[in-house]
Copies of this chain bind each other. A is one copy, B any other.
Amino acid sequence: MRRFVADKTRNLIRRASTWSPTCPVSPRPHHPPSLLSQPTSPPFSSSSPSHPSSITSPLRFLTAAALHPLSFPASPNSMASNYSTTPVTLQSVNPKVLKCEYAVRGEIVTLAQKLEQDLKQNPDSHPFDEIIYCNIGNPQSLGQQPITFFREVLALCDHPAILDRSETQGLFSADAIERAFQILDQIPGRATGAYSHSQGIKGLRETIAAGIAERDGFPADPNDIFLTDGASPAVHMMMQLLIRSEKDGILCPIPQYPLYSASIALHGGTLVPYYLDEATGWGLEISELKKQLETAKSNGVCVRALVVINPGNPTGQVLAEDNQREIVEFCKNEGLVLLADEVYQENIYVPDKQFHSFKKVCRSMGYGEKNISLVSFQSVSKGYYGECGKRGGYMEVTGFSPEIREQIYKVASVNLCSNISGQILASLVMNPPKVGDESYESYTGEKDGILSSLAKRAKKGIGMELPQMFPVVMQNGITQ
């Protein structure tokens, strides 16, 4: 049944794609024509020969998909009312909000919702009985189970009153209980219901920094860590810091994860696109970066930062270390902040590729704090953890002067702090059970099971090096 649904859905999507000559659900840079006019090669334009938008490509299928399944259902009474006297209209709303496009509103999702509505009214209206939304990497909504150890610790931190009860020993693993005690001891007053430091609980940041240092082989400083509600608010924070007007540009990969185009639009900046090369496995060419940077400059755009998504989203490419070095040199020479989206660092399914953080690459080149401004984003939503709903994540901020760091801290403090459960989870992700811990075996079993399942489906379905999003599509569309 599911295979059939997938085939049927592809056909419907093909039909949907003919509704418009362009691909309006894909993100488009929102630069004013006067600043950056590239009419012959807009991202995803079907007329661009180097970026064919054929919907039959699995990659196109995914990148054209919208990001969130559910629309905003206007309340029944509101639909019937006349709003002519209410003060906010499309003419008077912030135009940056209007300009912001988020794939959530795209045609594919609209079509899916229509089909769902059809099925509700008449279950026989289509030759399938279910719509499964695969338009975002949301593995737990599709049956992926969370890591037991993580959830044990979260539950115990939520309700520490049971920590000393005898029944708890039977319900929870010993190392989860011990870890909960450790974490609670790091929180002033053991108060998981209190606002924390605006960068996050110090002890948890120390744990995360230790995890980064172990991963990279270079030291990490807890004071560089800003814990956030997922990676998205961290990205917004950096855009807010950097973008002064539409004359400020941010270099972003195409294809991209549409958070970047949306955030740049909301902050009133200009997306400066650079194109990944499908022919070389979605490679990132320095010549392309240079070309786009020069074009932007000649259009009066001041480029402030380069976004690199590694491993790529949605392309799944894994950058080679040599390529990363070139990118670092480019940013250093051009005076750009390097914004490294590294949330898929655990999602590499081929033995000959390896994740290297940009921080590690910079430090291995001998570049330290004073040489390069680098922000690395990480999230609990991806990897084998897939804890999207917990909204945990962090950014590691290096290479900014103390006065600029104060500005970043100020912006972080305006929202007080990120949620404590997400903070705890971020620390667990960067410090999972170790050999000898009671949970180690079950943890590695669960982790390996998830990753090998993702890898199997990724390879079976589309290619060799693909991020988590693909397996999610495959899970429901093709391989059950």
Contact = CB atoms under 8 A, between A and B. Distances in A.
Interface stretch (A16-24, A292-300, A347-355, A413-421): A413-421
B141 A151 contact: no
A224 interface: yes
A97 B146 contact: no
A284 interface: no
Interface string A142-158: 11001010011011101
Interface string A4-40: 0000000000000000000000000000000000000
- Which residue, A95, A381, A409, has most C-beta atoms of chain B within 10 A? A409
A229 B122 CA distance: 38
A276 interface: no
A52 interface: no
Contacts of A404: 83, 86, 88-90, 93
A112 interface: no
Interface residues of A, number: 122
Contacts of A345: none
B143 A189 contact: yes
A391 B414 contact: no
A84 to B, nearest CB: 8
Given A407-B98, A410-B100, A416-B388, A79 B373 contact: no
A118 to B, nearest CB: 20
Given A138-B194, A402-B78, A370 B86 contact: yes
Interface in A380-429: 381, 386-391, 399-407, 409-411, 413-422
Nearest to A94: B244
Contacts of A121: none
A409 B94 contact: no
A415 B232 contact: yes
Interface in A406-462: 406-407, 409-411, 413-422
